[in-house]
Amino acid sequence: MHHAASIPRPDRSGVRPTVERAPGTVVVTGAAGFIGSHLCERLLADGYDVVGVDNFSTFYNRTRKEDNLRTARRSRRFRLHEADLMTADLDAILDGACGIFHLAARAGVRDSWGDTFAIYTRDNVGATQRLLEALRRNPVPAVFASSSSVYGDAPRLPVKESDPLAPSSPYGLTKLATEHLARIYVKEYGLNVVSLRYFTVFGPRQRPDMAFTRFLSAALAGEPIRIFGDGRQTRDFTYVSDVVDATVRALRGPAGAVYNIGGGTPASLEEVLLHIAQAVGASLHVEPRPRALGDVAHTWADTTRARDELGWSAQVSLEDGLGAQLEWLRDALPVLAAA
Contacts of 61 (CB under 8 A, 6+ apart): 208, 338, 339
Q: How high is the pLDDT of residue 59?
A: 80
Q: How far apart are CA 25 and CA 142, in angstroms?
A: 13
Q: What integer is the mean pLDDT of 68-89? A: 98
pLDDT above 60 for 331 = yes
Q: What integer is the mean pLDDT of 324-330? A: 96
- The whole-chain average pLDDT of the chain stands at 93
Q: Of 258, 272, 264, nearest to 299 (Cα)?
A: 264
Q: How high is the pLDDT of residue 10?
A: 43
Q: What is the CA radius of gyration of the chain?
A: 19
pLDDT above 60 for 85 = yes
pTM, whole model, 2 decimals?
0.93
pLDDT above 50 for 182 = yes
The domains of the chain are located at 25-202+238-263+300-315
- Cβ pair 80, 37 in contact under 8 A: no
pLDDT above 60 for 196 = yes
- Tell me the pLDDT tens digit for each residue of 13-28: 344 444 345 589 999 9
pLDDT above 80 for 209 = yes
Q: What integer is the mean pLDDT of 308-336? A: 93
Output the CA–CA distances (angstroms, integers) from residue 35 to 88, 89, 104, 116, 258, in the order listed.
22, 24, 10, 23, 19
Contacts of 282 (CB under 8 A, 6+ apart): 219, 222
22 vs 32: which has the higher pLDDT:
32
Q: How far apart are CA 14 and CA 44, in angstroms?
A: 10
- Cβ pair 33, 41 in contact under 8 A: no
Q: Of 111, 37, 45, 43, nearest to 69 (Cα)?
A: 37
pLDDT above 80 for 199 = yes
Q: How high is the pLDDT of residue 17?
A: 41
Q: How high is the pLDDT of residue 300?
A: 98
Q: How far apart are CA 300 and CA 158, in angstroms?
A: 5
Q: Give the chain's largest Cα–Cα span.
A: 57
Q: How high is the pLDDT of residue 332?
A: 87
Q: How high is the pLDDT of residue 325?
A: 98
> Please, which pLDDT band fits residue 60 given cuts at 50, 70 and 90?
confident
| Active-site residue, 189 included | no
Catalytic residue among 171, 185, 239, 259: 171
Q: What integer is the mean pLDDT of 288-301? A: 95
> Please, which pLDDT band fits residue 7 given cuts at 50, 70 and 90?
low
Which range (10-19, 150-159, 164-173) has the least confidence? 10-19
CATH says 25-202+238-263+300-315 is which class? alpha beta
pLDDT above 70 for 293 = yes
- How remote is the C-alpha of 306 from its chain's centroid? 16
| Residue percentage of the chain with pLDDT more than 90 | 88
